Structure 1
Amino acid sequence: MIPVDDAVIETERDIQDFSVNIERTLSRLVTRNSSYVTILILDCCQPYWLQPPTTSRSTARGKSLDEIQPLPGSFIQFACVANQTVDDSGERDRNCLFTKHLLDNIGRKNVDVADIFLDISKNVYHESNRSQKPLSMNGLDRYGRVFLNEVIEPDIKDFLSKQLLPHDEKVYYDRCKEYCQLTKQPLISVGDEIFDDTTEVTSLLLVLGIEEDPNLFDLKDFLAQFCRKINIPVVDLQVQQIQIGSCIVITEIWNKFKSSDKKVRVKMICKSLTQKLLQKLGLMKIFFIFMGTIESLKRQFSRTEIRLNPEYDRIYAPGHTFWEGANNDRKDRGNQPYYCPVGWKRFSLYVTDNFYGKFKGWCICYHGTKFAYGLSILLSGLKPATRIAHGAGVYATPSVKYACHPRYAEVRLIEEQHRSKIFKSGSYMQYVLECRVHPDNIEKIGKETLNARSTAIDPNISNESIEWVINHQNKNIVDFNDPKSSIVCTGILMRVTDNHPGLLFESQWWFPSHLCEKQECCALGIDLSKLKRQRNDGNTCNIILE
């Protein structure tokens, strides 16, 4: 293919240098975009003469386009057959005859591409008095119907299930709703297989939980809004079912894409889910978004088995459960000491019947968490650290004092409507996860990374050995429910205070260490300058234990 007005091309050798090899270009497009079909439209089939034609010594003769063969996955449309030229007799028109009919037909809804170009060919052939006959070369026989303008107008009645949600699914979705009510954003869950390059994904689900009455739900409008926000075409979704009990929309997404392309697109969506976008999705009453295989979705429901084990709930404080120094109750907790997490209340999680048999020799450690991540971690697994000062892995610490720094454990102001019901007279709260890890999975014990330097963080633990890097077994998500997991969550520690916890005596090390205004780094729950003023004014803080 060569430009018709290129004055540089004077010899046959120039043609090789300046022309575009259509077959090679088409091959590259088809090979690199195998999840898509490639449509090549050639609407200017003019004869080409070497310049200047009167003086050129070339023996090459000008002619129109030669016929080329389509590759599987491609569709080639010529404005005319080989050795014909296009009809440009209507010079007053902006477009040639073929392009005029192309523009008239290209926007037709839900018409197969082969049918569109067949109609175009008939119209051109008729209007040119049979002097121009367009040629189609179809390599899409194995690709089913292909639309240039596919429009889907789903009707919720076509997809409503008559069966109620199974009990375990209802329990799971109820937890997701609680999460959304507290965080004002949906719980996002992604199947492990998306991050595993060794597995193939044949069928990929996008599941949405919406706090709506299914009988009053406008499916078409909802999907249009949702797809606009995450920047995907509505036609990429095929609704399979809508479950009642909760409005659970189950769709298959990108069903014609190859596995690697599906994974790339899920990762792109995940990266686009900023805090602002999540809040917008929350305003759409979406409380749950899942992307992955049906097998991964079923594993999500099994996480309802994570339940509280109140027999082992504890309040760690004098007059309750309390000890000084390393615990010496003769239970084997590995090769690392265990100190009393004073001021915290533990909600114990049921993990296994034979708890001490399973975790004999496993060390206790802590993992601070943002408020919005707490329930998400329990439902979706523990994500490896994004800050990799000591290397890739899950970060943990033997010091609850270190784990509750605002970089790791978000400080959240308790909303008024939740105070009396859940938190008594408390005003602020933090979550820290209590975990067990086998000593063999502690890959590195390193120093603090909050620039505390000579300021002592925890009187029981040196600043030089306060961070642990846990082997995450090359998994993007470490699942607490995986019996082979390198780290297991055994409880949730909660601290509730009547004022900001930065005013506690044990939190004073925060101020000479790293502490900043950026919410994405240090989730203080208060303006830093305001907190410093309260500290300078001598304001105090008390822990609420009951």
Structure 2
Amino acid sequence: MARSNNNASQRRKLALIIGNSRYHLSENRLDYAKQNADELSALLKSVGVKVTLAHDLQQTDLRNCVIDFSKVIREDDLVLIYFCGHACHFDGVNFLIPIGDNKIETKHDFEDFANNLMNTINLVLDSKQSYATIFIFDYSKPYLTKSTKKSKSLDQCEGLNKISPPPQTLIQFARSSDDHASTNLYFKHLLKNIAQENVELVDALRRVEKDVAQESNKKQQPLSMDNLDKSRSICLNPVVLEKWDEVKPSEKAELMKKQNELRACYDNYPTIDDLTKKNKPSIEKAERLTKDILSETPSGDATKRDTVCHVLYKLFEQENQECLFFDSTRDMKLHDASSNLADFSTQDKPFVLKLNNVHGLGTKTYADDGQQGLNVVHTLERAREQNQSHPVLDDIVDRLAKAHNVNKKQIKIKTFFLGSCGVVYTVDDLPKNIVKSLSTVPDRLQEQFEQFQSAKIHPLLFRPSFDISQFDERGNKTFTDQGQFEVGPTGRKMTYYQPVGWARYGLQVLGRYENDTWLHPFGHDENWYKAYHGTGRAIAQDFGKADGDIDKQYAPIDAAASIHKNGFREARVNVYGAGVYCSPDPTFPVKEYVGTVQLQTQQGPKKFMCMLQVAVNPDGVRFTTAPKIWVVPNPKDIRTYGILIKEV
């Protein structure tokens, strides 16, 4: 039967919390009982429960406390009684052990100097019929008594016996009578579950039973006795659920397509743990390989792998970075950063925080969006794009700032994506000692985000590594002639201008896609157009908008490439619309934003420049009013197949 939740938030919630710690024998003292009572009291108050709190009650005081509490109960109240202390049974009767138990020498003294549990329950229920009454008796540690008056040894008393609960009550014991738990495990799970938002109290206490039994390997098994009306909703923390903005049916397909592309891109980022902890054997092998490569003077031949490796190393060295080279064919399992080389000169290399969900974030509680998180991402992304405040978005920024120990103004959210909820962000003015502190970032993020799943970073942010086995000598070529060729489908061919004076180092792309005709054999009707993609920083006039407002620092013409393995991401600069920017003219990217390095080679000192050679899908390119600028809206329609190097 469905439970009704009418007036749940208006119903009074009362609790009597008792913690007995200071028992007569040192062996019976419970150091945690007072703290348990205080912590549960604070939690219940935080969800609107009116709490009566008492510590270390003697027999008469305990009885009077229960009587006084029962007098304030009204007919429609939700009532909770929690007792943390010793409890046991003797001769078929259950007892709560009060403080001042020095007169209890043997079990036969319980009748005179302990509180009868059933009588205590009835004292509460003698008042008007409440909406529901929950009794929780937390007695984990066994109570010790003498076996006889003259005995010097102590015996353990059995726990509480199962009882029949009165109508509209639920009673839970921390352990069954024959369990012998001696820890505070029960309270740990009670505190975790009892006040969860919109969770039925019956379900919460069942979860406590399950969690305690599981963690104790069934050595401790709480016992519940339930006589509640199953049609009634009994929840300590009912809240009104806010709704996420719904995605319109007409927008869903396009939004899902974009989300899948974002997820494919960012899921390929390495985790921080992989870079700093987990792959130590592979890192050590890569360090040795890198040392071997760099110890040899490069040939100076741009088509040779040693020269390319030295050029890459120097490019990162100029940025105060160190890179590694590894060989995946020799059991080195590192992340290949060649797929992100086009982001080399940008400053906004992001972190990626993956959460299971956004539960617990913000000042409000939201209903399940029913779309596997699509409405969540849609809502947060729209707030970010429109620079609007949103409680969940604001909370994420605050927590990220605490995790990175920076001012929250330094946190810039770049985007959100599905799976389950991904947060892409940058940290302005990263401290120079990031290398030393990076390994602690996942732990600090986990402290801030209960739903933490993983922490990833841009492959070029920390000690990027490059797989030398991904270079393909079949693609190596030195361009000596100003050759021009028509490539592409019949009737739509475009001119391919060879990059005269450049040497191409091929990347391993043949056999990677459904077929090779996009690239090989050259001249095939299914060949894609040829273009070039810079690796440096562009300026406004390069986009045909000399007076435009363009962030020069973050405006590389490639505008967010992801080469070789992952394709590309969309441009940051959208003068000609969203997409990846490239040029059919090999001289265009050279203007002001191609990186230059100097090497001491076997042929003497030399300087080299770098850019990328790409293929563009004829069905996926948009030609702009500037003939030297092409835009590819879908990153899947542009593929890098070579690194171009030119001696200056």
Pairwise TM-score range, normalised by the shorter structure: 0.3 to 0.5
Scaled by the length of structure 1, the TM-score of the pair is: 0.39
- Larger-Rg structure: 2
Scaled by the length of structure 2, the TM-score of the pair is: 0.34
